[in-house]
Amino acid sequence: MRLTEENVKGQLYYTAKCNQHRPWPWKEVVEWCEDTFGPHTGKPGSTWFKNDIVKGGKLWFKEKEDLLFFMLRWS
């Protein structure tokens, strides 16, 4: 899992990207995130959003604590 901090339209997000050598079960990951953090709106500004797996499977979290919770579950 590769972790970074990125700015999206002036908002800092904490990101997690899937390691290609150890891929996530993408559908399960997205379902868990929706159950845990709320619905995925697909737009920056929400609590979390994702890039589709075809674009690299990156998740974006507004709160660092959410990223840490995600890491505990999926790393």
37-70 pLDDT, tens digit each: 998 877 667 889 888 766 668 899 999 999 999 9
Total tally of structural domains belonging to the chain: 1
Q: Distances from the Cα of 13 to the Cαs of 5, 21, 32, 44, 67, in angstroms?
A: 6, 24, 19, 9, 9
Provide the domain limits for residue 52: 2-74
Q: Which of 25, 44, 47 is nearest to 36 (CA)?
A: 47
Q: What is the rounded distance in angstroms from the CA atom of residue 28 to the CA atom of residue 40? A: 14
- Predicted TM-score (pTM) of this structure: 0.84
18-39 pLDDT, tens digit each: 877 777 888 899 999 999 999 8
pLDDT > 90? residue 5: yes
Q: What is the rounded distance in angstroms from the CA atom of residue 13 to the CA atom of residue 1? A: 16
Higher-confidence residue: 43 or 74? 74
| pLDDT in the model for residue 54 | 64
